[in-house]
């Protein structure tokens, strides 16, 4: 911990990559862990693809509405808040990239989060919107639809088989290439292209620090592994040193 805190003090550019483990510490079930009750009969791939939505739009919409409802009672934890506080103390130094879609980083006070996999609380049009989609309010339904062309509203998340948003991924890759230190927090490191950001940072000469109570697929490139939950580790790791200044 002392060595990593020294690396943080030396790093002029920091990237933090977060995954499902950070949200799980707030009580958010991971995607697969949420397949319970009525939804236990389905695999995630049956609910989180464009084909599934076009085939059974109401089923998929209801699944995401259930997830949205569950998130209303969830709050950012100490790890989320520690990252937001650090960003406030050092404007422009840290780029936060997340694979999570729950907006807990944003609610903790991190408005410039690069949410690679989208935003569960938002919708977008399934097909390219026509002028009617942009001028007519959607009809209420499960899911809502355009009253003229019947285009459907869908969750604004990245489904299996879909590409990540080009602009966000490019910004994340650029930050990983230019950073001096990357913290990889609460992710198993098996989901690409997000996991590739850590390898990109390492190849560029940055130090890589894993914060995770479990082993990960990125441990082989790590300069240090902190085997602890993020809500416990990040407040200690990122707390101001006695001589900290607002530089």
Look at the block and give the residue holding tokens 């989180």: 48
Q: How many residues does the chain have?
A: 247
Work out the angle at residue 122's Cα, subtended by the Cα atoms of residues 195 and 168, and round it to the nearest 5 degrees.
35
CB 218 within 8 A of CB 195: yes
Instruction: Tell me whether residue 117 is one of the annotated catalytic residues.
Output: yes
Instruction: Encode burial over 210-243: b for 16+ CB neighbours within 10 A, e otherwise.
Output: bbbeeebebeebbeebbeebbbbbbbebbeeeee
Work out the angle at residue 67's Cα, subtended by the Cα atoms of residues 61 and 73, and round it to the nearest 5 degrees.
145
Three-class SS of 106-159: HHCCCCCCEECCEEEEEEEECCCCCHHHHHCCCECCCCCECCCCCCEEEEEECC
The residue annotated as part of the active site, out of 112, 117, 180, 232, is: 117
Catalytic residues: 117
């Amino acid at each position: 911990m002392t060595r990593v805190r020294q690396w943080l003090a030396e790093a002029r550019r920091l990237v933090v990559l977060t995954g499902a483990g950070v949200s799980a510490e707030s009580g958010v079930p991971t995607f697969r862990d949420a397949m319970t009750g009525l939804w236990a009969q389905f695999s995630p791939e049956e609910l989180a693809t464009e084909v599934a939505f076009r085939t059974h739009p109401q089923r998929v919409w209801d699944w995401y509405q259930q997830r949205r409802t569950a998130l209303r009672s969830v709050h950012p934890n100490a790890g989320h808040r520690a990252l937001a506080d650090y960003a406030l103390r050092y404007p422009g130094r840290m780029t936060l990239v997340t694979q999570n879609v729950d907006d807990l980083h944003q609610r903790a006070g991190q408005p410039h989060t690069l949410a690679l996999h989208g935003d569960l609380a938002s919708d977008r049009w399934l097909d390219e919107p026509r002028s009617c989609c942009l001028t007519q309010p959607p009809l209420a339904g499960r899911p809502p639809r355009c009253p003229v062309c019947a285009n459907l509203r869908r969750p604004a998340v990245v489904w299996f088989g879909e590409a990540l948003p080009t602009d966000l991924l490019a910004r994340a890759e650029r930050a990983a290439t230019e950073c001096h230190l990357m913290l990889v927090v609460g992710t198993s490191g098996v989901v690409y292209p997000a996991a590739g950001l850590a390898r990109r940072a390492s190849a560029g000469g940055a130090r890589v620090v894993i914060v995770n109570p479990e082993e990960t697929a990125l441990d082989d490139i790590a300069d240090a592994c902190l085997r602890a939950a993020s809500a416990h580790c990040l407040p200690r790791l990122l707390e101001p040193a006695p001589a900290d200044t607002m530089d």
